[in-house]
Amino acid sequence: MGKAGTGPEEADGGTSSDSMFAALLEDSAEELYENAPCGYLSTLMDGTVVKVNGTLLTWLGLDRAAVVGRLRFTDLLSVGGRLYHETHFAPLLRMQGEINGVALEIKQADGDRRPVLVSALIKYGSTGTPLLTRITVSDATDRRAYETELLRSRKAAEESARQARADRARLQQALAVLQQSLLPASLPVIPGVETATYYHAASPDQLGGDFYDVFPLDGTRFGFFLGDVCGKGPQAAAVTSLTRYTLRAAALHDPDPVAALTTLNQVLYERYAGNDPRFCTVVFGVLEPDPGSGHLTVRLASGGHPPALVLRGGGTADYLPTPGGLLVGALPEPRFTAATATLAPGDTLLLYTDGVIEARTGPDRSELFGDEALRAFTAEHAGASAGAVVAALTELLTGLGEGLDDDTALLALGATASGPPPNHTAHTPAQHTKTMNTP
């Protein structure tokens, strides 16, 4: 009789479902053993197989009669599997009484090998005597394929990373050579003048945009400039190269600083006007030593560049005002600002790029170094040689670490007593500049 509220058809349907479910549970233990998803076998303590299921026989490709009572467990293993069984598997099993998930290989009748994971358990009698070893063998073919692919992928990734490191090293080497070509190989020896330079590229993976140079104009006067090209990379390098050679050529034609910057502006504006404007900030000047007095007359003009600092031998440091100078190459007819200064022996003219004043300081690197901090710092070294001033600034900037995250260049021109400059200011970039440094 069906339950209350349940019709005869529903009752019959429920009975039919229960019968089908019960039928699924009527598999015999022997059938479950024979057709299990893993291999089973039992061996005597000497390893002789006394029982094996159909699943494992199928994997082996052998008949039951050829295995039971005739082969030992080790006979089913590959050569490597036998060695591991004797040296590790069997000793651990005897010592622990069981062992789980050991990776081995079984050999098949067709000569192939099948990776498996083996677990074993010793069955003991009532007196504690070991009677049988029960062994479970799980197919690890898919796992081995996965591990092989994982290993292949790992090796491929490691090789790719090694190749990337090698490619980056070659790129950095090429960039370092190119960067050096954008800086003067050496600076001229100027009687009564000491020159010192510093160069820092923010990244070894990019060409810096800062530049400087000192060169003779005639027998008594020397041109100099320091600047910063907008942007980085190959495009900035092209502008740097064009700027350097244009200023040199313009100065030889007309050494007036304003005229030189005007010529450079015309070249850059005509070359880059349009969809890809390129411009720079630069200070260009002419240095004229007076051998009789030891004084240096400096005439310079600025195109949008931070003002130069004049460090006096008496212990002061002040900016040389050049207000209103516009970026070079940005407008067709800009106005450039000129200034004149006289350096007595012991005085130094310091030119720098904005990487100095925009360096980040403070515990959290959130503050800019700034103009006033630079003036105060250089005032503490006023009266020192140009080399000593640049060395002190180099130490300061290097100490900022990651706070110095932009390209930076320094050029110091110091008036000395009559005679050639000291030997330690030979001005070769390898000795007196830091090129391609990273923070």
Q: What is the pLDDT of residues 321-338, one digit of tens each?
A: 988 788 999 899 898 989
**Predicted confidence (pLDDT) per residue in 86-116, tens digit:** 999 999 999 999 999 999 999 999 999 999 9
Dihedral sign from CA coordinates of 350, 351, 354, 356: negative
Give the DSSP per-residue string, 233-253: HHHHHHHHHHHHHHHHHHHHH
**Predicted confidence (pLDDT) per residue in 262-279, tens digit:** 999 999 999 988 777 888
Q: Report the alpha-carbon distance of residue 349 to residue 411 in Å, rounded.
A: 8
Q: Report the alpha-carbon distance of residue 206 to residue 175 in Å, rounded.
A: 7
Token reading at 148: 């092989």
pLDDT of residue 178: 75
Mean pLDDT of the region 220-247? 90
**pTM, 2 dp:** 0.64
Q: Are 244 and 263 in contact (CB under 8 A)?
A: no
**Predicted confidence (pLDDT) per residue in 36-61, tens digit:** 999 999 999 999 999 999 999 999 99
Q: Other CB atoms closer than 10 Å to residue 296's CB: what's the count?
A: 25
pLDDT of residue 429: 36
Token reading at 149: 């692919």
Q: Report the alpha-carbon distance of residue 115 to residue 110 in Å, rounded.
A: 15
Q: Other CB atoms closer than 10 Å to residue 254's CB: what's the count?
A: 12
Secondary structure (3-state) at 347: coil
pLDDT of residue 427: 33
Quote the longest CA-to-CA distance of the chain. Answer: 132
